[in-house]
């Protein structure tokens, strides 16, 4: 039998395979499902061979390379797609950002991510990109420099404009909001904020006109109605305000953003009970219960109507949400004071990042009104600073207490003197201030780990307040002297050195000597202190240690001695200033 003879009809059951790009694409997907990355790469490459102008095939190869950790090779292919195949494949920038992030090239990742957001219209990976932004900001320890998100025309810019408003950069906010509203005239939220920005810079006519234009298009626009109520309030249009306010009181917004706007508006208009009702709804019903700002405003509203237990609940909630924030700690201290000494003014619906920033705003507002800041604010700052503040905050709080001194403040200062972990210099400053407050008694104090008794006559008053607040160089002199003598002098000798310096400043307050060349002043008080304790020292020694000239040190020593009469009193001075 002839084996090579062809059987008639033998090929009728044979199915021919169509070898094209789609065939290899399907084979590649099957390989990926089985985690056979090498085969998947080969099949995707064959797909490229059949369709070299199809950018999807190249992106598939880049995706597999990324999966197996070959991020650099993946980016090389993606860059080729953008440069040679299809410049409109904007998602390649997102893929490249991912690869750079995996290689920990975070600035390169940021660059590609920004380009993706600025060029991509569809926003296919917008949510993932926003998550990556948060990640990159953590790694880079700074905000990303995004100025435009094409897929959200005007939305990102609007967020940026709101941030500018919150920072008080009204001119920049107006410029950005004008651009947004010109490009997106239907963006009513941006037009509402533009109205507010106009008002903040004094363009009241433009602001009111902007609100009225929004209400013409959308008569029920809640943001615009709330802004209009605030305009009436600030302009003293009582009748118009009362009419609008009566209508707003009966509104219970459905959306959280509208509820927050209504709540803050009611708070500013002194309708604290209604404000609290809305804030409480936000905390109870939605994600706002995780927002420290909402909890803070709810506590403020509670305080303003005397519901102190409820206020405590919300500030405690704030503490749990943001354990790093100092704001709830401060306001809980203030709250305890208000129970026995209520404020004469309402707490404002403002939210700041730190206690120091909050205090600065209150002080500025008091100056603008031509009144003194509320004593409770200052006292609460003092109590908070002693417990939670850093060195500089504690120093500032101690110095600021003289006008507010009472038995509670002095008791807290005396207790502070006994805390073993607190800075010795702060304790010395505290003793000086107690003396300035008229506390003429000896103090028990922990210095360098030892409990000592400081006799009253050895603690001078602080220099006049105008010296402290107008020229803080005196502190630099004291601190420099303390630092330079730390290893050679004991605590008692250092205390006497600072005492000498304070005495000199107090006695020279009328002439107010210029405290330039702080090194010479510090050298002079060390020199005189050394002489008081019979330490061998020369002008040359201290001039060399402080980096100044012998003649300048000699001149400063003479100035101090003329007022304090150190040399004439040396015979009567003993070193028993402290009795343990």
Tell me the residue length of the chain. Answer: 580
Tokens 């990742």 belong to residue:
109
pLDDT of residue 469: 41
Write down the pLDDT at residue 461.
Answer: 52
Q: Beta 450-454 vs 443-447: how paired, if at all? A: antiparallel
Label residues 377-393 b or e (16+ Cβ within 10 Å = b). bbbbbbbbbbeebeeeb
Tokens at 555, concatenated: 């001149």
> What pLDDT is attached to residue 512?
61
The whole-number pLDDT of residue 522 equals 94
Report field, pTM of the whole predicted structure over 0.75: no
d(CA 503, CA 478): 12
Structure-token match 């975070």, residue found: 106
pLDDT of residue 154: 63
SS3 289: helix
> Hey, which residues does 579 pair with through a beta bridge?
453
Start-to-end Cα distance in the chain = 126
CA distances from 173 to 125, 158, 176, 464 (A): 28, 9, 5, 44
Asked if CATH classification 1.25.40.10 holds for the domain at 255-389, the reply, yes or no, is yes
Q: How far apart are CA 412 and CA 420, in angstroms?
A: 15
The DSSP call for residue 372 is P
Count Cα atoms within 13 angstroms, Cβ side, for 570. 12
- Rounded distance, CA 44 to CA 29, Å? 9
Q: Looking at the DSSP assignment, which residues form a beta bridge with residue 451?
A: 446
Identify which of 542, 538, 563 has the alpha carbon closest to the alpha carbon of residue 481.
542
Closest CA to 221 of 183, 248, 185: 248
Residue with tokens 């805390």: 419
Give pLDDT tens digits along the chain (580 positions): 343 433 334 444 544 456 666 787 778 788 777 788 888 888 888 888 888 878 888 888 888 898 888 999 999 999 999 999 888 888 899 999 999 999 999 999 999 988 888 887 666 777 788 788 888 888 888 877 766 665 466 667 777 888 888 777 889 999 999 988 888 888 888 899 999 899 888 898 899 999 999 999 888 889 999 999 999 998 899 999 999 999 999 888 888 888 999 999 999 999 999 999 999 999 987 667 788 999 999 999 999 999 999 999 999 999 999 988 999 999 999 999 999 888 888 899 888 889 998 998 898 888 888 888 999 999 999 999 999 999 889 988 887 887 888 889 999 999 999 999 898 878 887 887 787 677 778 888 888 788 888 776 665 555 554 444 445 677 788 889 988 887 888 766 787 888 888 888 877 765 666 777 899 999 999 999 998 888 889 999 999 999 999 999 999 999 988 888 877 666 544 433 333 2
Q: Which residue has the tokens 């205090």?
A: 359
Torsion of CA 107, 112, 116, 117, to 10 degrees: 10
* Rounded distance between C-alpha atoms, residue 321 and residue 288, angstroms: 11
Q: Give residue 21's pLDDT.
A: 66
Burial class (CB in 10 A: 0-12, 13-18, 19+), 14: exposed
Q: Do the domains at 21-152 and 255-389 have one common CATH topology?
A: yes
Evaluate whether 125 touches 143 at the Cβ level (below 8 Å): no
Closest by alpha carbon to 334, among 293, 405, 383?
A: 383
Write out the two tokens for 571: 């015979």
Tokens of 31: 């390989």
Residue 81 near residue 92, CB atoms below 8 Å: yes
What are the tokens at 373? Answer: 């800041």
Q: What is the per-residue pLDDT for 320?
A: 92
Encoding tokens for residue 110? 């940021």
Q: Do 158 and 189 meet the contact criterion of CB atoms below 8 Å apart? A: yes
Residue 501 · residue 513 · CB < 8 Å: no
DSSP conformation class of 87: T
Indicate the helix (H) or strand (E) that contains 519: helix 518-532
Domain ranges across the chain = 21-152, 255-389, 463-579
| CB neighbours of residue 76 within 10 Å | 14
Helix (H) or strand (E) holding 251: none
What residues contact 70, with CB distance under 8 A and at least 6 apart?
Answer: none
Domain 21-152 classification at class level: mainly alpha
Residue 304 has what pLDDT? 95
Closest CA to 48 of 84, 101, 97, 96: 84
**For the domain 463-579, what is the CATH code?**
1.10.472.10
Q: How far from chain centre, in Å, is Cα 188?
A: 30
Could you give the angle at the alpha carbon of 310 between the alpha carbons of 276 and 386, nearest 5°?
115
């Amino acid at each position: 039998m002839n084996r090579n003879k062809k059987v008639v009809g033998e090929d009728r059951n044979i199915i021919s395979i169509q070898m094209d790009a789609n065939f290899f694409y399907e084979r590649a997907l099957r390989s990926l499902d089985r985690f056979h990355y090498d085969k998947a790469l080969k099949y995707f490459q064959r797909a490229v061979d059949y369709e070299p102008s199809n950018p999807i095939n190249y992106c598939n190869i880049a995706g597999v390379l990324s999966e197996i950790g070959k991020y650099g090779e993946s980016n090389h292919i993606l860059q080729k797609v953008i440069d040679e195949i299809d410049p409109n494949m904007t998602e390649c920038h997102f893929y490249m950002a991912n690869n750079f992030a995996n290689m920990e090239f975070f600035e390169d990742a940021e660059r590609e991510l920004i380009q993706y957001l600025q060029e991509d219209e569809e926003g296919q990976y917008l949510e993932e990109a926003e998550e990556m932004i948060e990640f990159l900001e953590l790694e880079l320890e700074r905000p990303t420099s995004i100025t435009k998100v094409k897929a959200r025309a005007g939305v990102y810019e609007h967020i940026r404009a709101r941030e500018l408003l919150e920072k008080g950069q009204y001119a920049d906010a107006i410029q950005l909001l004008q651009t947004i509203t010109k490009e997106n005239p239907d963006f009513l939220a941006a037009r509402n904020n533009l109205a507010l920005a106009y008002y903040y810079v004094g363009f009241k006519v433009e602001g009111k006109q902007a609100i009225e234009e929004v209400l013409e298009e959308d008569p029920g626009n809640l943001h615009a109605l709330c802004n209009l109520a605030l305009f009436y309030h600030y302009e003293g249009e009582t009748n118009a305000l009362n009419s609008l306010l009566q209508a707003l009181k009966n509104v219970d917004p459905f959306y959280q953003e509208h509820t927050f706007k209504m709540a803050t508006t009611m708070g500013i208009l002194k309708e604290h009970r209604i404000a609290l009702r809305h804030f409480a709804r936000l905390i109870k019903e939605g994600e706002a219960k995780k927002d420290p700002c909402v909890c803070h405003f709810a506590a403020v509203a509670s305080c303003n109507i005397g519901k102190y237990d409820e206020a405590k609940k919300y500030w405690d909630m704030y503490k749990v949400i943001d354990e790093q924030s100092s704001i709830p700690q401060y306001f809980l201290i203030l709250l305890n004071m208000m129970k026995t000494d209520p404020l004469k003014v309402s707490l404002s619906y403002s939210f700041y990042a730190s206690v120091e920033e909050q205090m600065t705003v209150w002080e500025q507002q008091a100056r603008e009104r031509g009144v003194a800041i509320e004593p409770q604010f200052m006292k609460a700052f003092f109590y908070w600073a002693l417990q939670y503040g850093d060195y500089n905050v504690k120093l500032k709080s101690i110095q600021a207490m003289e006008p507010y001194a009472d038995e509670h403040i002095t008791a807290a200062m005396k207790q502070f003197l006994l805390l073993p972990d607190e800075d010795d210099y702060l304790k010395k400053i505290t003793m000086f201030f107690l003396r300035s407050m008229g506390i003429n008694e000896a103090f028990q104090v922990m210095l360098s780990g030892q409990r000592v008794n400081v006799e009253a006559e050895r603690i001078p008053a602080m220099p006049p307040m105008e010296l402290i607040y107008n020229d803080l160089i005196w502190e630099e002199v004291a601190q420099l002297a303390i630092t330079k003598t730390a290893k050679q002098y004991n605590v008692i000798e250092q205390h006497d050195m600072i005492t000498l310096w304070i005495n000199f400043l107090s006695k020279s307050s009328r002439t107010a000597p210029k405290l330039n060349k702080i090194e010479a002043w510090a050298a002079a008080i060390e020199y005189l202190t050394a002489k008081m304790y019979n330490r061998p020292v020369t002008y040359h020694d201290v001039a060399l240690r402080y980096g100044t000239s012998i003649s300048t040190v000699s001149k400063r020593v003479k100035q101090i001695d003329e007022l304090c009469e150190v040399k004439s009193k040396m015979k009567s001075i003993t070193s028993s200033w402290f009795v343990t």
